[in-house]
């Protein structure tokens, strides 16, 4: 949805019923915006999550830190309001694409050219649009992932993401689906992996951070993370998934030494310059869906 190399930044808005977001967004759009912003904030404060930026350190990254993510999140807040209203109005996918392009331009301006949230613009943007649709049609409209499929699946299937992006190149080189396939399939990694892991830890009475870490490792253990493929190739992805599976098999965040184990993995990922950004994006999406769907 943010393929600026394919979609011109001046793409005209279709006229089918679209109206821009007023100065004061409607209550449902503010709720969705706040949920999306909070999801991004909670993702970055989650620790330890191997290889990734947190409040503790910059992980495998030399060009960004938690402050960079904070600036990016602030720049994206109005995007989530706008795309929620667009979803509520059942706009064509072309409108969502333009909003995504504009959001990416704003993100890069705020971060001075550093890509912090391109994946989140795509994933959380679609889910926020679905949440807007659900706000207008009620919970009977179904889960957010199913709404994405029903409302925009056909156009999404024809959409070409930026072929020059790291994720797109890794998907093509290694024959994996990536973010577009995840969205086309209704976000199965959210509903079948991340949300059950996250909610099971909360139900056990453990902390919110532990629930986020567990969901992150559950995703890492099974996801074909194109960021890992880009940085570490097939060997890097295999290493990351194997270590995540060992962590979960040992009890995950339920074991007394979980934090020590996770920090050791964080250091191992950093030593290999591995950064599972796809898993981080879906963790944020999991947090948004949990907050919207309850």
Q: What is the CATH number of the domain that holds 45?
A: 1.10.4200
pLDDT for 294: 86
Distance CA 229, CA 44 (A): 21
Give a yes or no: residue 6 inside a domain: no
- C-alpha torsion angle, residues 56, 61, 65, 68 (rounded to 10): -160
Spell out, as residue ranges, where the chain has pLDDT lower than 70: 1-23, 161-177
pLDDT for 179: 87
pLDDT for 178: 74
Can you give the pTM of this predicted structure?
0.89
The total number of structural domains in the chain stands at: 1
pLDDT for 4: 33
Helix extents (H) in the chain: 27-45, 66-88, 93-111, 118-137, 144-158, 166-174, 178-184, 188-189, 195-203, 208-222, 226-249, 258-271, 277-293
Find the domain containing 221 and state its range. Answer: 27-160+175-293
Q: Count of CB atoms within 10 A of residue 11's CB? A: 14
pLDDT for 24: 80
Give a yes or no: residue 101 inside a domain: yes
Question: By the 8 A CB rule, do 239 and 50 touch?
Answer: no
Give a yes or no: residue 212 inside a domain: yes
Could you tell me the two tokens for 90?
């059942």
Burial of 176 (0-12, 13-18, 19+ CB in 10 A): middle
Give a yes or no: residue 9 inside a domain: no
Q: Count of CB atoms within 10 A of residue 146's CB? A: 16
Give a yes or no: residue 37 inside a domain: yes
Give a yes or no: residue 4 inside a domain: no
Give a yes or no: residue 44 inside a domain: yes
Give a yes or no: residue 3 inside a domain: no
How many Å is the Cα radius of gyration of the chain?
A: 18
pLDDT for 159: 79
pLDDT for 161: 61
pLDDT for 223: 95
pLDDT for 177: 57
């Amino acid at each position: 949805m943010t393929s600026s190399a394919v979609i011109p930044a001046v793409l005209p808005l279709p006229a089918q019923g679209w109206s821009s977001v007023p100065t004061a967004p409607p209550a449902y759009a503010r709720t969705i915006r706040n949920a999306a912003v909070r999801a991004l904030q909670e993702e970055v404060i989650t620790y330890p999550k191997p290889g990734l930026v947190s409040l503790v350190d910059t992980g495998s990254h030399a060009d960004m830190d938690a402050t960079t993510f904070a600036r990016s999140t602030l720049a994206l807040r109005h995007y989530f309001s706008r795309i929620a209203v667009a979803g509520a109005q059942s706009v064509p996918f072309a409108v969502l694409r333009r909003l995504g392009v504009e959001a990416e331009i704003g993100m890069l301006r705020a971060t001075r050219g550093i890509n912090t949230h391109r994946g989140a613009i795509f994933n959380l943007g679609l889910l926020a649009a679905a949440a807007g649709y659900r706000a207008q049609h009620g919970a009977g409209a179904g889960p957010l992932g199913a709404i994405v499929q029903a409302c925009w699946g056909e156009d999404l299937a024809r959409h070409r993401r930026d072929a020059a992006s790291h994720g797109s190149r890794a998907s093509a080189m290694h024959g994996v689906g990536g973010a577009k396939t995840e969205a086309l399939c209704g976000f199965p990694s959210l509903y079948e992996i991340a949300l059950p892991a996250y909610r099971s830890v909360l139900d056990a009475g453990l902390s919110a951070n532990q629930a986020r870490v567990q969901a992150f490792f559950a995703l890492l253990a099974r996801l074909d993370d194109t960021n890992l493929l880009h940085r570490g190739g097939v060997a890097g992805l295999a290493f990351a998934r194997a270590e995540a599976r060992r962590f979960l098999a040992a009890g995950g965040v339920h074991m007394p030494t979980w934090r020590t184990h996770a920090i050791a993995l964080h250091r191992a990922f950093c030593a290999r310059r591995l950064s599972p950004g796809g898993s981080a994006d879906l963790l944020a999406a999991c947090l948004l869906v949990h907050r919207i769907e309850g």
